[in-house]
Amino acid sequence: MTKQPHAIYDDIGIGYTTRRQPDPRVANAVRGALGNVSSVLNVGAGAGSYEPQGCNVVALEPSLEMLQQRAEDAAPAVQGWAESIPFADDSFDACLACLTLHHWRDQRAGVEEMIRVARERVVIFTFDARVQSFWLYDYLPEFAALDRKIGPDVDGIASRFSSAEVLPVPIPHNCVDGFLGAYWRRPGAYLDTAVQAAISSFSLVKDREQGLARLGDDLKSGLWRLRYGELLDRRELDLGYRLIVGVCR
């Protein structure tokens, strides 16, 4: 039996579901992008965030750690990789991938596989690394560099479809899903080790202590509020998160 490559979330996914719950506003955007499909393959499914209700869902996830965190009533799941989806051509109405492409070994191959098994459309919730207006990058430029390195080529992905839309997904100020941009209006959260544990960037970037110390100092002194306080009146913010909605045929 061929040994499978190591899945990154076998290491960094422990306790993931404590902080990573689907935000209903993001979920509505994802569900709307899927349209009236009857069957969905959720690729890089993790613990099951953003899997749509009202249709038949199958999850595909490489990490055994994440598969073990799926709820008992979650969709049936198969251990496998985006780059070699173990289903026949046109097996599902749609394929879905949420905040996962940046961890794939070969993003282009994974997208081509999604197109192969989807009859109608592919929906990808991801981020555009070219949009780097997030204040956290001022403290942690290493995170910005990481995003540029592993971030999906949004335009390149969209070009793989016969037609595609790229839609902005503004992040609400009280987002309940603890991904990197979720706490943009709650800056102190980034100093919380439990919050950090649910964000892959904190596991992938080791040189971060100086930046976090400076953030803590600026919060105490009021300098953060002086620089970024206008954000405290915003209810949502475009941080570069995007929905790619591609038509397969």
Note the pLDDT tens digit of each residue in 124-170: 999 999 998 899 999 999 999 999 999 999 999 999 999 999 999 99
- The pTM of this model reads 0.91
pLDDT value of residue 1: 29
Q: Are 208 and 142 in contact (CB under 8 A)?
A: yes
Classify domain 9-247 at the CATH topology level: Rossmann fold (3.40.50)
Q: Are 62 and 117 in contact (CB under 8 A)?
A: no
CA nearest 33: which of 100, 87, 95, 92?
Answer: 95
Q: Are 151 and 242 in contact (CB under 8 A)?
A: no
Ranges of residues in the chain with a pLDDT under 50 are 1-14
Q: What span, in angstroms and rounded, lies between the C-alpha atoms of 106 and 127?
A: 17
Instruction: Please state, rounded to an integer, the average pLDDT across all residues of the chain.
Output: 91
